[in-house]
Chains A and B, each alone.
Chain A
Amino acid sequence: MASPRSNLHQESTNTEQIITEFFAKCLHIILESRSPCAYSRNYSGEQTQSSPSSSSSSSSSFRPRDKWLNLALRDCVVDVILVRGPVDCDPVRCSPRRGLVKNLSVEELFPNFWNSGHEECLLEEKSEKIIERWVIQYKNQKSRDFTSGSKRSGGTSSKSLYKKSIVLLRSLYLTVRLLPAHKLFRDLNKSGQIHTYTLSHRVSSSVEPFNRREEEEMRPFNRTEVDTSCGRLCLSVLYRPTLSDLSLEPSTPISPQFIPDYVGSPMTDPLKRFPSLPLAGMVAHGSPSSFPFSRRHSWGYDIYKASQPSVSPSPSPTYSDSRALLSNLGSHRLPPVSLPRHPHETPSSSNVSLCHQYNTSFDEYWPSPIFSPSSSPSPPTHIPSSHPSNALLRCDSAPVSIPAARFGRSPGLPNNHIVPLAPFSKSSRPSSSQTDNSRALLRPGNIQTSVPVRKFSLGKDEVGNLPGAKISSNSSPQISISRSSSRLSFLEAFDDSEFPCPFAVDYDDIRDMHTRYVIQLVAYFVCLMSISEWVSLAVPDPYIYSGFDREPSRYENASDNRQGVTEC
């Protein structure tokens, strides 16, 4: 028979355990609805449908015991802190962009907070404001007689405490979701918004009391006390009733950028330039205005940029399509399509105009296959920016059809100055006339003119030096166009067509000038089509030019998924 003393001891143990679990559970409930870090880590679809009944003490048995299990429990104070400023404390939730977001209202409140000239200091200048203070206390009442064994109201002490703790936790569960700070928490968890603030928390056993001003701003709510056999459990909250004066409106998200005229025709504004887009590398080559093509695309590059192209930070479907296109193009890194960037050769206005014309006319024939006009857009290909053809290949993917035979002459360009749209290697130095001619041929209108291809003046060696024609082993890989019968039959379709702008692919193997021209043209248009269309037509791999170092990931799929490519 259990002695009364052992019963009391058991009762005390039960009470201690309940109180301990109560502390842990309170902390869990508060942080769950206030801490974006905890929310993101623990969030699941069931969180929003969670029931207070699931948060009962029985479910907390698996929670790890911590220092709160100490019998002599100290007070637990959880401060919910509003942190304003560039946030870098939580890599899960916060990806700060320094200086990208400026909130004028924040600046008004903290005039020294934002400093355009010292944006790097923003990380250190954070404003913290306590918007809630939850206090969980257990006060030992040593004056109570533990040996009395007197029955408390509502049944035995531990049972009553257990029951009341459940009710208290459930009301806490609701309270944290009714207070104004929960709205901030929800806003923070919303995707697609950039906030200049975050919610942080601080758990401590003792904190400094609020000063008078802070105390006036805070308001108490629903202080609850539960008597136990050993003391009194108390839960209270001080909260800031209004947060609207803190000017915490989210800002416009940065990452999804809308390109208004992405599918616009270059005919209307071929050289439209987005002022917000930095033209990296262009400064070294002259004034930005002299660059022919600076229209922004997800796959666009700066035309005369030697380094990595300025790809849109947000990947677009066309970008992925480009990758898919590349994935089927083999493992070769293609030579750049660009004209050589000679040291003395800076983008001149003439080049700009040429490329302008290329852009103007190209989109008319984008991106249909050569032999069957279609309106299906094709993903762009990665083309080095140093080639004027990039202007064309980077044009807006407006679905256009290739007209039958239409040749628009580029003003200022003689008809006989038509050269194949041949890629130029970086090291190659074709003559300026050839350069101009190449650029002239980049114009789709020129491509489809009736200018005889025989006037192409590039010799074999010259073509060999053209980027994309043949790449040396120590440079970018090469993709050669197959001379398979299917290809020839395909190319034969163009025999009668007047596309005088062949691509220089592998002139060592292609002796027939006419065939070479046609192949170049085919490769040119293939670059503009979707890989699916091209593969289905059993057309040899297009010529994709890469005139600069790229991220290897862009091409790694190309080597894996290369299809239908045979060496010439």
Chain B
Amino acid sequence: MAPLSNSSMVVDMTAPSTATYQSGANKTVKPILSARNVRKTYRTGDQEVQALRGIDLDVAPGELLTVMGPSGHGKTTLLNCLSGLDDIDEGTVLVDDADIHKLSDRKRTDHRARRMGFIFQSFNLIPVLSAIENVELPLLAIGCKAKEARQRAANMLDQVGLASRTSHRPAEMSGGEQQRVATARALVSEPAIIWADEPTGNLDSVTAGVILDLLQSVNAAGQALVVVTHDDGVGHSGDRLVRIVDGRIDSEEQTR
């Protein structure tokens, strides 16, 4: 049974209603991303799945936001819709004051390239490119000079501890190494916001810890992170934890 099929009419009162947000540092800052009443319905044939039913969510600069919730309740959908990977049916998502869903595909793509990074559960590296070539891709997407891109990618790989693996192909690396490359790829263009969908889902706990440390250090450097996770430990290691149930924000807690 689809978890969202029996719709509830209860209005969710927990969502913040202002455009500002109290960050962990208790300072009022302008959010980097601001979503209002985001709705998304999947239609397959005559079946409808209301995956998001009115999401209001802000992400502050430098914030580490974790998202948890039962499987199939809309976490990935949320990530896709807020990052502009997927279209929405209703609502607005403002990033840098621009409603990304009103932009043309080209502009939205460009926006992603400049402001966002992505980490996926199944690494999604390009198998035919070496580690360094994979990492420099986002830089090339934003028109960075080839030489500079290569240099920055090398630095980034160094930071994730893979200086000795630059010319390895994904198939020649362990899962943990691949995810570190993927992380390096997400970070290399120094995006303002990084989306990570179960980044440790495919890794053992030790390797997961390595990735998590990495993400936290990045966050400490001032980049915002939105991490979807099923792991309680990961969920409580951020600034704020949002729980998604039935396509709505069920609860929200400060975890730091």
Note whether A and B form a binding pair. no
Q: B-side interface residues toward A, CB under 8 Å?
A: none
Q: A-side interface residues toward B, CB under 8 Å?
A: none
